[in-house]
Amino acid sequence: YRYVIEQGKSMPSLNEALKVPATKVDGCASQVWLHISISGNTFRFEGDSDAVIVRGLIALLRSLFNDLNLSQVSAVNAEAELARLGLNEHLSSQRSNGLRAMIQRIKETAAGAQS
């Protein structure tokens, strides 16, 4: 858990100009923004939250998804990867729901860019 918080503290903040309704993720207890960019076939995103633990979760998701090609993004089982870290037992149901909402936004955006 401490590792996740440290990851969140070390992650750069999202530019305020990118914190707009289009980048806001619904379904999270905290405010969360994901700015996704696709260059060619390469997926990248940056994000931010007003909660340090959620910033840490965003940092972990970035390590899982950034710089993958679009088909690889679809193939990542983020829930399983994060479960290996033992996060499930430390996250509240609201945080888990928010994490799923972030993963869903990432995967839907990548899938939409593929079609």
pTM for this structure? Answer: 0.93
For residue 1, name the pLDDT band (cuts at 50, 70, 90): confident
If we measure between CA atoms, which residue out of 45, 47, 15 comes closest to residue 31?
Answer: 47
Annotated catalytic residue within 11, 25, 28, 61: 28
| Tokens matching residue 105 | 């936004």
pLDDT score, position 7: 94
If we measure between CA atoms, which residue out of 93, 109, 98 comes closest to residue 35?
Answer: 109
Whether domain 2-114 has CATH 3.30.2320.50: the reply is: no
For residue 87, name the pLDDT band (cuts at 50, 70, 90): confident
Burial 7-22, CB ≥16 within 10 A → b, else e: bbeebeebeeeebeee
80 is catalytic: no
